[in-house]
Structure formats: C-alpha cells, structure tokens
A and B are shown apart, each in its own frame.
Chain A
Amino acid sequence: MADIKSGRLSAEQLAKNFEDIHAPMDTHEALVEADRCYFCYDAPCMTACPTGIDIPMFIRQISTGNPMGSAETILKSNILGGMCARVCPTETLCEQVCVRETAEGKPVKIGLLQRYATDYLIDKADAHPFDRAPSTGKRIAVVGAGPAGLSCAHRLAMYGHNVTIFEAKEKAGGLNEFGIAAYKATNDFATREVDFVLDIGGIELKNGQTLGKDISLENLSSDYDAVFIGIGLPGVNDLGIQGDDAHGCTDAVEYIARLRQTDDLSKMEVGRNVVVIGGGMTAIDIATQIKLLGAENVTIAYRRGTESMNASTYEQEVAQTNGVSIRHWLKPYSLSIADGAVSEITLEYTSVENGKLAGTGETTILKADQVFKAIGQSPVSVILENAGIDLDRGRIVVNENRKTSHAKIWAGGDCVAGGEDLTVVSVEDGKLAAEDIHRALSA
C-alpha cells in the first residue's frame, strides 16, 4: 500500500520550511556589502550577465543611498531583475567572475544586492520607472506570458507599440509563476512582478489562449505587424518504462505548478519514500520541496555523473543540505505496481562505454511511494513547423536578433534552440527580439 498523504508537517513547520531561501538584505547589510564592490572597469560581472546589467553602477548607487536609481539601472537592462535576483545561478554567472572571488574567494553578493534595490523600487515607487513613447499605432502579438514574452512586451510597449500577450494559462508569469521553487519567490513575488511590468501601459493580456487551439500563428502573423513566440517547453518527457502512468508516478513540472498555486501546502500529497528521476533544476527543485513538505526519504537518481548534471553544484548542495540524497549512474529500469500504485522502482547501474551511456545489467531497488519525472521538457514542434518556422530538434532556430526564418516572427526563451534555459537568458531574448522588431517596424 503506497504511503502517500497530505499534512505530514504542521502548518508552522511548513511555513518555516518554505520561507525565503535567502533572507533579503536589510539596509545596513546592503550598505556593508555594497562597500565591498571595487567599481571595476569593464567589469567581469557585467560581461557575465546575460542581460548586461551595469552591476558596478547599481551597487555604487546603493552605496550612495540611491536605491531607486540603482533599481532603474538594473531594470533598464532587465525588466525582470527582481525575479532574476532570486533565481539566477549567480554562482556560475556574475558572482563567479567577481574580482573579489578571484582575490579572496568571496564575491560581492550581487544577487542579494540586486534584490535589495529592485524590491525597494517595486515596494516604494509611486509610478512605473519608465515612460512609454508616443503610440506608434503598430500592433504586436506576443505568445506566452513567461519571462521572454513579458520582457519583449515591456520593451515594445516602451517604444510606443501596442502589444497583446496571448497566454494559455489563467495567470501570467510562466515558469516564474508555475515553475520556480516556492522558497525562491515568496510572497507572491511573481504575480507582483507581472503587475509591475504591465504597469507601463500599452500591453493587453489575454489568458486562456493556447497556441494551436484558440489562436494560430497563421492568423497572428497576418493580423499583427509582428509576432513574438515565447511558449517555453510545454511537453514533458516520459520515463519510457512500463507503469509510467501508475498512481504516484508524477510529472514534476505539474506537481510544482500545483505547489506554487496552492494556498495550503498541507494539502499537497507527499510520499514517505520518494524517488526523483533527472539531473536538472527541476529535479533539484522537486526533490528539495517534497523533502520540505515532509517526505522521509528523498533520492535523486541521475543516469550520469555529477559533472554532467545541469543543476549547478550550488543547487545540488541546497538539495543535499535539506536532506536529499543524490545518486549517480542510475537509470530507471522498472516500476513495481501494487493496486495500481507505485511501490518500488528498480534502477539499473550505468556506465559510459565507447562514449555511449549504457546499462550494466546490475540493478538496485528503492522503495518509492512517489516517483517524480524530471527528465526534461519538450517542445511542441508540429504547430511551429506548420507555420513554416525552421526548427532544430524541435526548438526554434533564431538569428542573433532572435528572429526566426519567418519574416514576421521572432522567438525567445526555452523554446529556441541553443539557449541555456535560464530565466535571465529568456529576458535577454525577449529584449533583443523587441529591439529588432522595433527596428523592423521603424524602418
């Protein structure tokens, strides 16, 4: 009998477990930390930021008691700078190359300083920090209200264009709203940030509009002056073993989305023994959160070694610190089903032979009341192909300006080929596409 139930922990314990993973800095902490910045020339942190935020400048503005100006410096380059401050893997971006990392192994806490400034503006500003240019009369359709779509829409609106965002879900925000681990975006920040972005004006948000169902690229590209696609990766990969659809065998993305939307964490169903299959950020996020919800034993099984994991070392440590066990060189072999529910998972050991990953034939069995699938999301390629957009392994091919092979369609975020599937990269994609659309429409 599968041991799955809700309310494994008290409401107080759950509230504590799902607090901000990094407490925000207060003013004193921010000033002390800001003083550590050397105001480098052509700063490495700035080069490492996918959105090119002028980091030395925004930190200097914090240190001189100008948090509002600081936030404007950030948001000028990255309108979702508030969320990026929370979710960016800074340890592999700006903070990794900070000269104080080089000098002392202790980078300036750029992410937390960015959060300090952007929170200040979003909480305290009387008005949206950027003005809209006079209306151009041009209309642009943005498909998907995730980070890429929001970033694109904001920049286009700023240039005076009229933007309509078509979003399949009932709420905007994309993975910021439905995917990011709850302890990284507390107090409904994703929703508040969407409101902040839309505040510039000139953006109409239409929810419940699924591409291929309610809207089509053919119609959008003929009805609008330009189209931006930022639909992410709506599909989920299956384990490819029998019993994949048994009770307890759950899609991690779907579970996290429900967890993010619930107003009562104690209602989430939690297994005593949980196995997560995968090695990326989703695997880390589901494993950590299910543990924080009260699962007793949580194991991540990944088919390759630690160096191949998409989740950063830092993120792996977060999971491990929370009591998650990460095991490598194991792939799903079979599921034991009892009364229609998962009870155990058999994993096969793997190794790389002649550059190819293969099972060794040896297996191990783990008790599993829940098995979470976190082995990547997949694109929806048919609709895109039919619209005449070039794809690479299902993802949209774009040029350096994020333009597709279609004359009126641009794209960005996780749905394009060659990206890193990071929020900050999606924001940059949306921004670059908007600049190019603006250029095209102004010509």
Chain B
Amino acid sequence: MANLNSDFIGIKSPNPFWLASAPPTDKQYNVERAFEAGWGGVVWKTLGEAGPPIVNVNGPRYGAVWSADRRLIGLNNIELITDRDLEINLKEMKAVKENWPDRALVASLMVPCEEEPWKRILERVLETGCDGVELNFGCPHGMSERGMGAAVGQVPDYIQMVVEWCKQHSDLPVITKLTPNITDVRYPARAAHVGGTDAVSLINTVSSIVSIDLDNMAPNPTIDGKGSHGGYCGPAVKPIALNMVAEIARDPQTAGLPISGIGGITTWRDAAEFIALGCGNVQVCTAAMTYGFKIVEEMISGLSEWMDQKGYASIEDFRGLAAPNVTDWQYLNLNYVTKAKIDQDLCIKCGRCHIACEDTSHQAITNVVDGVRKFEVIDEECVGCNLCVNVCPVEDCITMEQMTTGSDPRTKQPINPEYANWTTHPKNPMAVEPAE
C-alpha cells in the first residue's frame, strides 16, 4: 500500500488532498465534516481585517456551465472572503486544530496592502495554532476593486512586498496564492520567490461570465437585473491550471519552488497529474461543492491503487516526473510520425471521426468502403492530428500509432529515426546549422 503522507513545506498531513480556501472551509462545522470524511488538510476561508465583517450579496452568488446530462464542469462565484466575524473564525480554527492535530490547517489571509494590517493579522492567526498562512492574491471579484486579492496578485512588486512583510513578521510557512488573471504567471511567481515565499499555490479563479440570461438580458447569476464578473473554477479550468503550474515548475528562476496545485481537481487522476508536474500537494473545492466531501475516499483509494500499480511508494517518488517533458513547440521532434488507426471491432460507426476530418481537417477518413458504411484512415492524407481520437465517443477505438519504419505515405519521405526540431529545420529561415 502506497504511503500517501504529505509533507508540504514542513506542513504534515495524512494525504495530499486539502480543501482550498473557499465556502466549504468557512466554519468549524464544515471543516470537521471534511476531516471526518478523510481530507488531509484545509485552507480556511480567507480572513480579513478585524472590524465590521464583509457583506455578501443576498441574491444568487454562483453560476455554472454544464456538459451533457447536466454535469457541472464549470462554476463561477461572486462570493467574497469570509463574512463571519474574525474572532469567531479564530476561535473555531483553534478548536479544529486541537480536535484534529494530525490534519493540516492553513489560514488564508487578505488585508489591505499596508504593512500594519498584515502584521496585525499574522499575530492574530498565530493564536490558532495553524500550520501556515496562504496569502490570497487571487480573488478576481469584489475584493480586488478594494485593492486586495487579484489587484495585488496582478502587480509583482506588491506581491514581493507583502510576502516580505509576512516573512518578517511571522515564522509561519507562507504560501502565496496566485491569480491566473495575468499574462505570464512566471512574473508573480518570481516576485513571490524573491520575496521569500515558502511556496506558491495556483490557480485562483479565472475572471468570468458564465452565461447571459436571455430573458433578463443580464449576466448569470443575476441580482436584481444586473450581474458582475465572477471567478471561474471546476473541471473546465484544469487545463489552464496545469499549464501555469508547468510554467512555474520549469522556469529556471523559480525551479524547486514548492507548488500547491489548484484548479478543477475532481478525481485521483487529476491530482496525480498536478503532482506529476511538480506539485507537493493539491487543493480541491468545486468537486467537493458538487458532490460533497465523500469524494476524497475515491481520491485516496484511486491514487494509492495507481501508485501501487506503478511501484511508487510515496508521493515524492513520482512528483515532478512529467515536468521535464513539458517543452516549447520549437523543440518537438518533427521526425516523429503518427497515423490514426481505427479498431474496427470497437467502432460503433457513428461517423463522427469521418465528418470531423472531412469537414474541418484533412479528408483522411472514409465513410464508405466497397459500398458499405465503414470508417478507415487514409494514411496518404492523415497528418496524425488526433482530432478523430478526440471526437470518438468510444475509448481506445481510435489510437495514434507511431511509424518507425518505411516512408510516410503522405509526404513520401522515409521515416527518420533521428530527433530533429524546428530550430534546425531546413524550412526555418532562422535555422541554426546542426553541430558536426
């Protein structure tokens, strides 16, 4: 049985599955239910300054995008940081940590971009016995208009400054949570790194409007005829998150910086993918909000079964193994030739591969062979693009097969076993001469 114990920047938890700072972690009741269900840790819903608590809207605060069968694939929210009194939150956090000493408890913080408020809040959270702090530089709505959240996360200098304050005024490990609502995530990550952060976590939610209510002619969720942008999360944002994680993982300036992966993680497989890119642990929110806390059982069992099958004894055994294989397009091997292959026994003859290829790609899949409905790849036309694999409703029915010998029937060029990329390609006007 694989060991799922996690040690992320010195914060220990029985597994790498944490609940992200969000509605599910807003109070003791929810958090203790999560721990009972098996979650390894929580990042408490973001705390603000002492004083009058935050006010949320009283109308709907979530919107969604669904796939077939109304499966929720994207969720958007306009909820603010905790709207409960700071003192109550601190008291409950302390109680939870005492009740669940083996679980990770991290305080998420968002206060105005001045040294004093940060110093004050850091002193207060220390009382709870929490394991670390996460700086919320991510929220794209509500707080950012007040100069907090994403408003800070979009300015690398501010990130560095706040991280420096936190490291100066507290001994707690600092995780800097990054917003995806920027052009190049490496800049805020580098700033956090320079400021001395112990880790970054990403992604926070993506600025979004999920849909327009065509009766009211207003964005969803609609509050008295109006809507504002919210933060998008759930399975739909996972590809964005994976890319941003990979960007940071392979940036020489942030190499080795611990990462807590966030963004659409729904199953053990999603979690394994983030860890394979280098994340030390993962944080989950939307999946729990969709299905409840019990999903962590599947995550624990799935990850552990897979690790056993692969012979990975601990998280560290496979962490980051995929990161070196993320490269830039120009370094991809242009001599690698694949052709689609359709397994006729698995084919249910829906014809979607044909029409996708015929209408929108390379006219490389038949629909009739010898007068009979049949879908076969025409190797002379197939560029190996993978579209047919992606649109086929049957798993493994269409596969991409590498050609290792002979000639490519499309280009008539012999298969070259040597690696060669665009930088040396004869058609590249900027090509460099290959070394002797």
Contacts and interface: CB of A to CB of B under 8 A. Distances in A.
A340 B424 CA distance: 103
A32 B352 contact: no
A42 B393 contact: no
Interface stretch (A33-41, A68-76, A192-200, A244-252): A33-41
Contact of A41 (B70, B348, B367): B367
Given A38-B393, A103-B394, A43 B351 contact: yes
A63 B70 CA distance: 11
B37 interface: no
A41 B68 contact: no
Nearest to A103: B348
A99 B70 contact: no
A102 interface: yes
B393 A44 contact: no
Interface in B41-83: 68-70
Contact of B349 (A31, A44, A63): A44
Contacts of A43: 350-351
Interface string B383-396: 00000000001100
A42 B70 contact: no
A83 to B, nearest CB: 29
A99 B69 contact: no
Interface in A36-61: 36, 38-44
A41 B69 contact: no
A379 B129 CA distance: 93
In this complex, the interface size class of chain B, counting residues with CB under 8 Å from chain A, is 10 to 19
A44 B375 CA distance: 14
Contact of A32 (B69, B350, B393): B69
Interface string B343-377: 00000111110110000000000010000010000
A38 B352 contact: yes
A39 to B, nearest CB: 7
B351 A40 contact: yes
B69 A42 contact: no
Contacts of B348: 99-100, 102-103
Nearest to B393: A38
A39 B349 CA distance: 12
Contact of A99 (B68, B349, B355): B349
B69 A44 contact: no
A388 B349 CA distance: 47
Contacts of B70: 31-32, 35
A41 B355 CA distance: 6
B69 A35 contact: yes
B42 to A, nearest CB: 35
A110 B408 CA distance: 43
B68 A42 contact: no
Contacts of A41: 350-352, 354-355, 367
A41 B393 CA distance: 13
Interface in A1-54: 31-32, 35-36, 38-44
A66 to B, nearest CB: 13
A307 to B, nearest CB: 26
3 interchain residue pairs of minimum CB distance: A41-B351, A41-B355, A35-B68
Given A41-B351, A43-B350, 9 more contacts: A32-B69, A35-B69, A36-B68, A38-B350, A40-B349, A40-B351, A41-B352, A42-B367, A102-B349
5 contacts: A38-B350, A38-B393, A43-B351, A63-B68, A103-B394
Interface of A: 31-32, 35-36, 38-44, 63, 99-100, 102-103
